[in-house]
Amino acid sequence: MAIPDFQTIMLPVLRLTQDGDDHTLAATRDQLAQEFGLTDEERAQLLPSGRQATFSNRVAWSTSYLRAAMLLEATGRGRFKITGRGLSVLAQEPQRIDIPFLMQFMEFRAFREGPDKPVGGQVSPVVAVEQTPEETFEASYQSLRTSVENELLGRVKAASPAFFEQLVVDLLVAMGYGGSQADAGKAIGQSGDGGIDGVINQDRLGLDTIYLQAKRWEGNVGRPVVQAFVGSLAGQHARRGVLITTSDFSGEARNYVEGIEQRIILVDGAELARLMFEFGVGVTPVGTPYVLKRVDIDFFDEA
């Protein structure tokens, strides 16, 4: 089944703790994974940032929200147990515990709305939320990033061949290839037929080289073009190559490079834009960067 959202996890978490014993986050996560029938692949699925498993993130936020509503209480690092309020809630046999349900508790409303907002008055309307705060933040970030990458690729396609040549040089240097800007520029050589061809150092010392071909194509690059590129590698006694295009590669072209002896990397337009974004080529930071922070549990160990 699909990984449940963090609100769907809340009631099962509370039920697991109804024995009144201490429970660890790790053990709870394992029990819930079995209860929801998650596969190893689903348990290992990461957030877009790649820094935390999605299911682990959702279980952690479920327990955090339950603690904010005082249905659970922390008993140590990564440990918690049910409270009297939590047992009372389970006695009501709720079909679901989610944010609207938790808003009945004054402490949770203070948690959601902030300390400066009165908590004894009217309950604020709750917008349906299925993502954890990290997931919401990352989804917004990925949406903005996709928009920027699409604009980058459009501008690259509209640029001149000379600009495209310099762009590739800038990108390769930013990625750590080619040594200095001057070395990389000399290594690339002259442009031709809408692209550039040449050799660039794989490392700053020039211990190995990579044969490079970059072409601004509108249609997909097919297998014959890739085969010709591989042939040029053989003529240079080279075993590594990078073929860059502003469009895409056909399925036959991609299958072909997987079955040959040379190591060939195909970089399509989408990947080119992604690398430009990642290595800061053609983009600039906007405003003050946001730094996400977590509570330092070690800091409060002796509290």
CATH number for the domain that contains residue 232: 3.40.1340.10
Alpha carbon separation from 40 to 24, 27, 44, 53, 193 (Å, rounded)? 20, 16, 6, 11, 49
- Both 122 and 179 in one domain: the answer is no
Report the Cα–Cα distance between both ends of the chain, in Å, rounded: 40
The overall average pLDDT reported for the chain is 82
Question: Please, which residues bridge with residue 243 across strands?
Answer: 213, 266
- Both 188 and 150 in one domain: the answer is yes
> How confident is the model at residue 235, as a pLDDT?
76
- Both 211 and 113 in one domain: the answer is no
Q: Is residue 274 assigned to a domain?
A: yes
Amino acid at 253: A
pTM above 0.75, yes or no: no
CA angle 96, 113, 71 (to 5 degrees): 40
A 10 A CB-CB count for 226 gives 23
| H or E element that contains 89 | helix 84-91
Of 25-39, 188-202, 266-280, the least confident: 188-202
Residue 12 structural domain = 6-129
Number of domains in the chain: 2
- Both 88 and 170 in one domain: the answer is no
- Both 268 and 190 in one domain: the answer is yes
Of 108-112, 265-269, 279-283, the least confident: 108-112
Residue 95 has pLDDT above 80, yes or no: yes
Residue 284 has pLDDT above 90, yes or no: no
A 10 A CB-CB count for 254 gives 15
Q: What is the mean pLDDT of residues 238-254?
A: 90
pLDDT band at 20 (very low <50, low <70, confident <90, very high): very high
On whether the CB atoms of residues 277 and 149 are closer than 8 A, the answer is: yes
> How confident is the model at residue 294, as a pLDDT?
66
Contacts of 34 (CB under 8 A, 6+ apart): none
On whether the CB atoms of residues 113 and 139 are closer than 8 A, the answer is: no
Give every strand in the sheet of 23-24, ordered side by side.
23-24, 79-82, 72-76
Q: Is residue 302 assigned to a domain?
A: no
- Both 168 and 254 in one domain: the answer is yes
CA atoms of 9 and 168, how far apart (whole Å): 47
CATH number for the domain that contains residue 26: 1.10.10.10
For 42-64, the pLDDT digits (tens) are 999 988 777 788 999 999 999 99
A 10 A CB-CB count for 91 gives 9
* Residues of the chain above pLDDT 70, percent: 80
Long-range CB pairs of 21-24, under 8 A, 24+ apart, other chains included: 21/81, 22/75, 22/76, 22/79, 22/80, 22/81, 23/79, 23/80, 23/81, 24/78, 24/79
Q: Is residue 92 assigned to a domain?
A: yes
CA atoms of 112 and 122, how far apart (whole Å): 14
Q: Is residue 41 assigned to a domain?
A: yes
On whether the CB atoms of residues 213 and 229 are closer than 8 A, the answer is: yes
Residue 183 has pLDDT above 70, yes or no: no
For 187-238, the pLDDT digits (tens) are 555 444 434 566 777 766 666 778 888 888 778 899 998 988 888 887 777 7
Chain centre to alpha carbon of residue 156: 24
Of 81-95, 96-110, 166-180, 214-228, the least confident: 166-180
Residue 175 has pLDDT above 60, yes or no: yes
